[in-house]
Structure 1
Amino acid sequence: MRRTLTVIFAAVVLVVTCGAGWPTDHGDNLRSGNATSASTFRSLHFTFSRVLDGAVYASPIMVGSTLIVATENNSVYGLDPNSGAIRWSRHLRSSISDTSVLACAGNISPTGITGTPAYDPVTNRVFLVTVTYNGSTGVTHELWGLNPANGAIGLDKRVEVPGTDTKAEQQRPALAVDRGNVYIAFGGLDGDCGNYKGAVLAIKANGAAGGVAYVVPTPREGAIWAAGGPVVAPNGNLFVAVGNGASTTTYDYSDSVTEISPSMQRLDYFAPRSWANDNAQDLDLGSMTPAYTSIGYILQAGKSGNGYTVKIGHLGGIGGQVYSAPLCRAFGVSAVTNASVYMPCTNGVTRVDVGPKGNFVARWTAANIPGSPVAGPGAIYAIGNRNLYALDRNSGKILGSTPVGATKRFATPMLVGSKIYVGTSAGILAATVG
């Protein structure tokens, strides 16, 4: 479903690989989390922590030599990446601490900036979305563009999903920027309350009026809420995981992997044959960002415990998977290195190797380490039990660990050079690799 928006915006650019920086969630628009230029693992030890003005749900990003961190208090910080010293800070709006103004309380309080920001080198802006409330306008979501060097505001525009209730929508997924568009995905609050629908908004980078949206064509729900946000393929098309919809009779394009064009046209989709039961039982695919491999397949799992591989270029529709088998319940974002997918399974990070015909095999599980992982030379890094762990890529054996304290769900490490950064319930923590 393509809808026209009445908003204007500026910004965007494609970032395709995890190089020296980390400009978006998992480092690149494929959400690979594969930091090929990072230091080789030798050891892992605490470097610094910095208390900020709120909990950090969004992954930190790195722009040049500035560490960018956003909090649920609707504040953004530019930090020195070696010491954590605050170079600048910008408090954008009041956060929502009185959750009675929302359709339901959800599971984030106070709530402010939740989706991971994304950087655009063309406009030299970091893009992010705040949520706030006031008596005259109600609950509003705003897209901001900040200069990463000093936090100067270059853009502030309201963005909402057309035809829905703003107090029922939540902007949890990471933003993406590509080919003249900034992409913003929306889902609902924890509890699936109110009149919300999953959607992706495409906002023009050049500041031209308008914009378009893909809104999941379900009577209600169909959240696009996986923390990694849209996966942007090399051809510019987007892949998103869609959650349970309201229908259990006529298929409504929920419980799916959906491919969308930059103009927000639905191009293709995959849904399990069990979609109706998945919708009824809240066992959908929406909890994990699609894992885009280098061999032409997407690996997808969600809440049901089953895994599916689908062919890029022909997702297959209902029941059109190339291969499926019991795998795990997965929440968050995987790390992907070629055809190996390190999945955020609830029982622990699991390495899954996808074969040339689309079949897959689970190689190992790092028990009780369920965080969304990233990959570096010699190790996989993930959070569990208030610790950051380094895991052997081939065996899953724990190579090292360091305490990080309390973190929020979907907290994802960022790996740049010899440093690894983790957003926490209190702010930001850094560790050194090697």
Structure 2
Amino acid sequence: MAAAVALVAAAAGCGSEPAAGPTPSEQTITTPSGTTAASPGPVGDADWPTYHHDNARTGVAPGFPTLGTASVAWTSRLDGAVYGQPIVVGGMVYAATENDTVYALDPATGKAKWSRHLATPVPQHDLPCGNIDPLGITSTMVYDPATGLVFALAESTGGHHTLYGVDAATGTVRVVRAAEPPKGDPIAHQQRSALTLLDGKVYVAYGGLAGDCAHYIGSVVAVPTVGNGPVASYAVPTTREAGIWAPGGAAVLDGHLLYAVGNGESTSGYDGSDSVLELDPQLKLTDRFSPSTWADDNAHDLDLGSMSPAVVGTHVLIAGKRGTGYVLDGKHFGGIGGEVAKTEICKAFGGSAVNGDTVYVPCTDGTRAVRVDSAGKPQVLWHTTVPARGAPVLGGGAVWVVDYEDGLLYLLDPASGAVRQKLSIGTAPHFASPTLAGEQAYVGTLTGVVAVRPS
């Protein structure tokens, strides 16, 4: 799943020279002619400002057009692979590439209104392991309506991790803050989890590179959206690993952040890995769950960290690499073995969609629908017969899910999982997830972004 780097398509507007490092004085910033500063304001239902639409990560698009005969509207070739989910705000599509470039795309044509090259990405040969080449912006960005900025976390040469706030209207860089993981070797960390905006801060979660090499420790960093206030952090209390890398990032429940954590090295003394964490906005640990099988999970790489937690009413559903789904009480996770209920679901990787009491789970052998009743009892309703293995979203009366390996977009019946339609979109990164906003869907691919009309 190495990221293919393509030539930049001709685009309107202009960009800046690459930033050599994480300090504002080192950047050359230009503003495209004919643009004005962003006008901060609330986002609407037709927008998609963060991963899976909202901080609960529901993946549901209210008011999205009813599915008819879907078709590809346009394909925009950018300067690298788009691993993060595109976001849409105010009638503009924003996408970030592994070449450390952020684009603002016209939803009608796919042409760039502006582009901003933020830094020089890390070539794979400079990493201790990994499978993305080069390694630049991998996570889903987030839009802040209070400042009018789009935030992106860029990895750059030398193993730097820098948070950039880019003016949504002009592409001007207005915030540059170092956001390094608090423990371990920075170059060993990969930032894949979606960014989360909460209470005036951007939360950045870290895991390791493919191959689990070198010295990394799962952690979360909180950076203020304005000013030069201190950066807060939390690190899993383990000697190594315990990465927080699920692409959906944090789900927010009652003002707290829920993260899934991967396996640690310990198989004897519990080290906080293979868990679901609840952190308050100051990044203090307030609750935690781990399965009673945590030691065996750690020994065999069967941890929970591959799927982001799904908030279902007052409960939380989590699955992972073992295939067991656990339902947690949202008010008290219960510690080790403290689940409300459990059942076999699937090996799950990525983010889910949640509509009422039904969770659409991103299974490696195809999406499943799982109902969680008011008592927390889970029941698998259906399993689609096609390899729709990406992270599903819901809108227009269909479940939209990508088969990233075969380059197909499936549109499934929400009640049965039957295929209503499929489209060829080109090869997508692992765990890719569509964005449903306005009148179209948008999918990041290994060469850019594809837009799809629902009818």
Structure 1 residues 17 and 248, CA gap change in structure 2 (3 angstroms):
farther
Partner residue of 2:51 out of 8, 25, 30: 25
CA distance in 1, matches of 2:250, 2:42: 14
CA distance in 2, matches of 1:391, 1:283: 29
Q: What residue number does 1:319 align with? A: 337
Contact 1:353–1:361 (CA under 8 A) maintained in structure 2:
yes
Deviation at 1:207, TM superposition (A): 1.6
Q: What residue number does 2:151 align with? A: 127
Q: Are 1:101 and 2:101 matched, yes or no?
A: no
Q: Are 1:53 and 2:79 matched, yes or no?
A: yes
CA distance in 1, matches of 2:206, 2:356: 29
CA distance in 1, matches of 2:182, 2:417: 45
Q: Are 1:200 and 2:225 matched, yes or no?
A: no
Q: What residue number does 1:172 align with? A: 192
CA distance in 1, matches of 2:78, 2:180: 28
**Superposition CA RMSD, Å:** 1.7
Deviation at 1:302, TM superposition (A): 0.3
Contact 1:198–1:221 (CA under 8 A) maintained in structure 2:
yes
Q: What residue number does 1:264 align with? A: 283
Q: What residue number does 1:76 align with? A: 102
Q: Which amino acid counterpart does residue 392 of structure 1 have in structure 2?
A: D
Q: Which amino acid counterpart does residue 70 of structure 1 have in structure 2?
A: A
Residue-by-residue CA offset, 1:44-80 (whole Å, 9 max, x unaligned): 1111001100011011000111100100011111010
Deviation at 1:347, TM superposition (A): 0.7
- The 5 A counterparts of 1:230-249 are 230-233=250-253, 235-249=254-268
Q: Are 1:301 and 2:319 matched, yes or no?
A: yes
CA distance in 1, matches of 2:144, 2:371: 33
Q: What residue number does 1:431 align with? A: 452
SS in structure 2 of the partner of residue 325 of structure 1: strand
- The 5 A counterparts of 1:143-222 are 143-222=163-242
SS in structure 2 of the partner of residue 361 of structure 1: strand
Contact 1:144–1:154 (CA under 8 A) maintained in structure 2:
yes
Q: Are 1:413 and 2:434 matched, yes or no?
A: yes
Deviation at 1:328, TM superposition (A): 0.3
SS in structure 2 of the partner of residue 276 of structure 1: helix
Contact 2:234–2:284 (CA under 8 A) maintained in structure 1:
yes
Residue-by-residue CA offset, 1:250-301 (whole Å, 9 max, x unaligned): 111110111001111110011000000000100000000001112x111100
Deviation at 1:81, TM superposition (A): 0.7
Q: What residue number does 2:350 align with? A: 332
Partner residue of 2:410 out of 368, 386, 389: 389
Q: Are 1:370 and 2:389 matched, yes or no?
A: yes
Q: Which amino acid counterpart does residue 100 of structure 1 have in structure 2?
A: H
SS in structure 1 of the partner of residue 295 of structure 2: helix
SS in structure 1 of the partner of residue 443 of structure 2: strand
CA distance in 1, matches of 2:281, 2:212: 28
- The 5 A counterparts of 1:82-97 are 82-97=108-123
Deviation at 1:417, TM superposition (A): 2.5
Deviation at 1:17, TM superposition (A): 8.9
CA distance in 2, matches of 1:189, 1:225: 9
SS in structure 2 of the partner of residue 27 of structure 1: coil
Q: What residue number does 2:60 align with? A: 34
SS in structure 2 of the partner of residue 285 of structure 1: coil
Q: Are 1:400 and 2:400 matched, yes or no?
A: no
CA distance in 2, matches of 1:48, 1:142: 32
SS in structure 1 of the partner of residue 367 of structure 2: strand
CA distance in 2, matches of 1:341, 1:20: 22
CA distance in 2, matches of 1:300, 1:351: 13
Q: Are 1:356 and 2:374 matched, yes or no?
A: yes
Q: Which amino acid counterpart does residue 290 of structure 1 have in structure 2?
A: P
CA distance in 1, matches of 2:190, 2:112: 29
Q: What residue number does 1:3 align with? A: none
Contact 1:8–1:210 (CA under 8 A) maintained in structure 2:
no
Deviation at 1:102, TM superposition (A): 1.8
Q: Which amino acid counterpart does residue 131 of structure 2 have in structure 1?
A: N
CA distance in 2, matches of 1:32, 1:231: 9
Deviation at 1:103, TM superposition (A): 2.4
> Which is worse superposed, 413-422 or 200-209?
200-209
CA distance in 2, matches of 1:250, 1:420: 46
CA distance in 2, matches of 1:253, 1:415: 36
Q: Which amino acid counterpart does residue 188 of structure 1 have in structure 2?
A: G
Q: Tell me how many residue pairs correspond in the alignment.
A: 415
CA distance in 2, matches of 1:8, 1:246: 36
Deviation at 1:204, TM superposition (A): 2.1
Contact 2:43–2:89 (CA under 8 A) maintained in structure 1:
no
Contact 2:43–2:49 (CA under 8 A) maintained in structure 1:
no
Q: What residue number does 2:161 align with? A: 141
Unpaired runs of at least 5, structure 1 = 1-6, 10-14
Q: Normalization by structure 1: what TM-score? A: 0.93
Contact 1:8–1:203 (CA under 8 A) maintained in structure 2:
no
Q: Which amino acid counterpart does residue 126 of structure 2 have in structure 1?
A: V
Contact 2:91–2:438 (CA under 8 A) maintained in structure 1:
no
Considering Cα pairs closer than 8 Å and 6+ residues apart, tell me whether 1 or 2 has the greater RCO.
1
CA distance in 1, matches of 2:221, 2:139: 14
CA distance in 1, matches of 2:333, 2:93: 37
Deviation at 1:400, TM superposition (A): 1.2
Unpaired runs of at least 5, structure 2 = 1-21, 25-40
SS in structure 2 of the partner of residue 100 of structure 1: helix
Q: Normalization by structure 2: what TM-score? A: 0.89
